[in-house]
Amino acid sequence: MAKTSLNPEQQVTTSAQGAFDIRQLSTILLRRRFLILGISCVVMSAASLLVIITKPTYQSNMQILVNSNLSDGAQANNIPAKENTQVTDSNFQVVDSSTQMKLMLSSKLLQKAVDLLHSDYPKITLQDINGQKEHNKKLPLEITPEEGGIAANKVFHQVFKVSFNDNDPVKAQRVLQALQKVYQDYNKQQQKERLNQGLAFVNARLPEIKKEVSKADKNLEQFRKKHQLLDPEIQSKILLESLADIQQQLQTTRANLQDVNARYDNLEQQIASSSQQNTLISSRLNQSSRYQTLLSEIQKTELTLAKERLRYTDDYPSVQKLKQQRQSQLLLLREEVKAITTSSKGEPFLKGQILGVDPRLVDEFMLVQTSLLGLTANEKNLAESEQRLRSELNKYPSIIAEYNRLLPKVQNSHKTLEQLLQAQQSLGLKIAQEGYNWQVLAEPSPGTYMGSDRLFILVGGAVIGPILGILAALILEKFNDAIYCAGDLKKLTNLRVLGSVPKLPSYGVKKQRLGLSWNGRRSSESSAIEATTKLPVHETLDMIYQNIQILKYPLPFKSLMFTSALPGEGKTTLVLGLVASAIRMHRRVLVIDANLQNPSLHKILEISNDWGLSLLLVDETTTDFQDYIQPIHPSIDILTAGPEPEDTVKLLSSQRMKELIELFEQSYDLVLIDAPPILGTVDARIVASFCNGIVMVERMGKVTRTELTQATEILSKLNLIGIIANEVSNSQKVLAS
């Protein structure tokens, strides 16, 4: 049968408002009233426990006079004021109340009081006296300035009130007594320090100045050791003079080298013109290892001699020694050349080929060659020395700048030290009674009762408890997916809400005993069976029945299956309630318990379940189903589930099940089927395909949005005609209306 539409005027129930308003808040609070009440009770219990353990508070007080006095003599000598003072003009000093209170509450002084109290109170700590600054919480120790400070004769007086709160009146007084002793000891110590204040200032400055002098001297000494010089400006001048001298020597050496080169070339030409075999002689000399060694030794001697001449004069012993060594090496070189150019018998080498060469010319050529080697080495050494001196001179600007920075510091530090020593000798002022003096005006008094916070704790518990309960309820509601309002059913499923049923009592009519004759399987007993019917009666059930009747156009619903998303949502009770509404409309009704796995209809009606639907489906040869029916009223027949079969799916999906429902529709005005829940089993889906209409029953507060959506999606392609909201509270019904 196709799903039919329903006019808004014909629908008995209406959907809930979409927007959240104050009525929803009241509904949530009413629904979570037990949670709110429980949290409120827990908070009140905790508050009551705090009231029991809270002790009364006692306060002890004392007064301290603080006066300041600064002599003209101290000011004339520029003696600095102490940190806890404030100078308002050149001749007057006033008490800074805020700084005084910070000093009196300092941890250093309070810790001394704690040490004094350890003998009587071993567990006392600095925290017990000072406390922690918390919002709207009074600290144990408080110091407040009294009004009306007096100023006269350059002396300013300020009275401070010191109070201490504790649960023990004796302890409150002893704490202030300890503080009194600490303050008096501190005052004496300050008086001694003030006596030597002027000299202490100089003595405190003197080590710093000496340290600065020592540091400046040390830096200058490290500078001189690092660069190995005393005055970089003088040393730079010396280097400049040396550079000029080396440049002069280099110029002279290059001129001599030019002359020697010219002479060397001239001698080569003369030797070449005298003998055409000069090439052979040169080759012979180059092949002589001794000749090459002597040349190398002469070159080394010339280099060493050039370096020594840069440092010393020609009369210096090392220079004379090098000259003699060079002469000896030249003599050996001449002998080696003579040996090479003659044969072993004293005859000229290469007869007829070198006879035209003058031996003196050869000796002169060797001397010039040796001089050329020496001048070349000397030129190289002088060029390196020039480059080295230029490199050193490039470093001197930064060295001179560093020296000019260190030297004034040394001079200034020595000058400052000298001035401070003179001031130390001239400063002989004695300071007495400057700064602050503390004097106790009122001794610590015994602790007086100040009341307790018990009433405040009780009132706070009474206020905070419900607030926490409401917050917990709202948070729980925020994360709860269950449905509590009938209007939400329509929003989520887009189905007609056939009615909202409140929580029904244990069946609204009294037990009725009806004498019915029954021709069942046990008809041989021929006895009348008294069936006890307990059918719930409520006006909302009649409304639901009427809503279903309105949907019967163009043909009435002969068979209706009632199911739910989850088990335990009250569909069996609602089926029996609709049966009561139907028989009042003179309808003959058959109720079938199709929940073969977990039947409950026979338990509610207190009838037998030894035979029922499962056996009727198995017994396919039987055409008379009356043997399995149990009448409880002339217009009400019951078909229980029967014994649980092994395969419920096979029985419910059989052709026999379809034929039985068609047979029941012909025999009764209305067939109501109590089916199992949709989720978890497929039994309800199978039975739903054989029925004219399907009605879902959902208990408010049990089913969730996700489960309801899943169930309706399963039945979406079948004839799902509507949904019933079960166990709806009165507040939810008012909100839905």
Per residue in 277-333, pLDDT (tens digit) is 455 566 666 677 777 787 778 878 877 877 777 677 777 888 788 878 877 877 887
CA atoms of 703 and 706, how far apart (whole Å): 8
Q: Dihedral through CA 7, CA 9, CA 10, CA 12, nearest 10?
A: 120
Residue 530: count other Cβ atoms within 10 Å of its Cβ.
11
In a shared domain, residues 299 and 314: yes
Q: Name the band, by pLDDT with cuts 50, 70 and 90, for residue 442.
A: confident
* 223, 403 Cβ separation under 8 angstroms: yes
In the structure encoding, which two tokens stand for residue 207, read together?
């080590």
Q: Please tell me whether residues 256 and 160 are part of one structural domain.
A: no
pLDDT, position 169: 85
Q: DSSP string of 49-118?
A: HHHHHPPPEEEEEEEEEEEEE--HHHHHTTPPPPTTEEEEETTEEEE-HHHHHHHHT-HHHHHHHHHHHT
Task: Indicate if 183 and 307 belong to the same structural domain.
Answer: no
The verdict on 444 and 538 lying in the same domain is no
From 391, 418, 441, the end of a domain falls on 391
* Three-state secondary structure call for residue 461: helix
CATH number at residue 723: 3.40.50.300
pLDDT of residue 85: 40
Given a cut of 60, whether residue 253 has pLDDT beyond it is: yes
If asked whether residues 41 and 65 sit together in one domain, one would say no
Cα separation of 574 and 664, whole Å? 21
| Percentage of residues in the chain having pLDDT higher than 90 | 9
Q: Decide if 39 contacts 468 (C-beta within 8 A).
A: yes
What are the phi and psi torsion angles at 513 (to 5°)? -105, 115
pLDDT at position 675, please?
93
Q: What local confidence, expressed as pLDDT, does residue 560 receive?
A: 93
8 C-beta neighbours (distance < 10 Å), count: 7
- Which pLDDT value is given to residue 32? 75
How many C-beta atoms lie closer than 10 Å to residue 452's C-beta?
14
Helix, strand, or coil here: 327? Answer: helix
As for how many domains the chain has, the answer is: 4
Is the pLDDT at 414 greater than 50? The verdict is: yes
Rounded to an integer, the average pLDDT of 217-233 is 78
Residues 495 and 377 placed together within one structural domain of the fold:
no
Say if 423 falls within a structural domain: no
Q: Which residues contact 337 (CB under 8 A, 6 or more apart)?
A: 285, 291, 362, 366
> Does a structural domain hold residue 5?
no
pLDDT band per the 50, 70, 90 thresholds, residue 148: low
Domain membership of residue 470 as a residue range: 22-53+453-478
Same domain, 496 and 595: yes
Burial 573-585 (b: 16+ CB within 10 A, else e): bbbbbbbbbbbee
Query: Can you give the pLDDT at residue 630?
Result: 92
Measure the CA angle with vertex 575, ends 574 and 578; round to 5°: 85
Residue 350 lies in a domain: yes
89: in domain: yes
| Mean per-residue pLDDT, 483-511 | 74
Q: Is 269 within a domain?
A: yes
Span of 65-69, 104-108, 211-215, 545-549 with lowest mean pLDDT: 65-69
Helices and strands (H and E) in the chain: how many: 24, 18
Q: Do both 545 and 509 map to the same domain?
A: yes
Residue among 426, 632, 630, 607 nearest 515 (CA): 632
Question: What is the three-class DSSP state of 559?
Answer: strand
- Cα distances (Å, whole numbers) of residue 21 to 17, 26, 269: 9, 9, 128
**For range 521-535, the mean pLDDT:** 40
Has residue 672 got a pLDDT over 90?
yes
Does the pLDDT at position 28 exceed 90? no
pTM of the model: 0.45
Between 69 and 396, residue with greater pLDDT: 396
**83 and 116 part of one domain:** yes
For 387-455, give the secondary structure using H, E and C: HHHHHHHHHHHHHHHHHHHHHHHHHHHHHHHHHHHHHHHHCCCCCCCCEEEEEEEECCCCCEEEECCHH
Mean pLDDT of the chain: 75
- Residue 206 placed within a domain: no
Last residue in a domain, options 391, 421, 442: 391
Q: Is 400 part of a structural domain of the chain?
A: no
pLDDT digits (tens, 9 = 90+) for 718-728: 888 899 988 88
pLDDT for residue 7? 39
Q: How confident is the model at residue 134 (pLDDT cuts 50, 70, 90)?
A: low
Report residue 239's pLDDT band, with 50, 70 and 90 as the boundaries. Answer: confident
Residue 75 reports pLDDT greater than 80: no
Three-state secondary-structure class, residue 501: strand
Confidence category of residue 575, pLDDT binned at 50, 70, 90: very high
Whether 591 and 627 map to the same domain: the answer is yes
Residue 662 sits in the same domain as residue 635: yes
Residue 106 corresponds to which tokens in the numbers above?
């300092």
| Residue 529 pLDDT class (50, 70, 90 cuts) | very low
**Residue 376 pLDDT:** 81
Q: pLDDT (tens digit, 9 = 90+) per residue, 475-484?
A: 877 777 777 7
Same domain, 61 and 129: yes
CA 671 to CA 687: how far, in whole Å? Answer: 13
Q: Is residue 679 part of a domain?
A: yes
CA angle 623, 628, 630 (to 5 degrees): 135
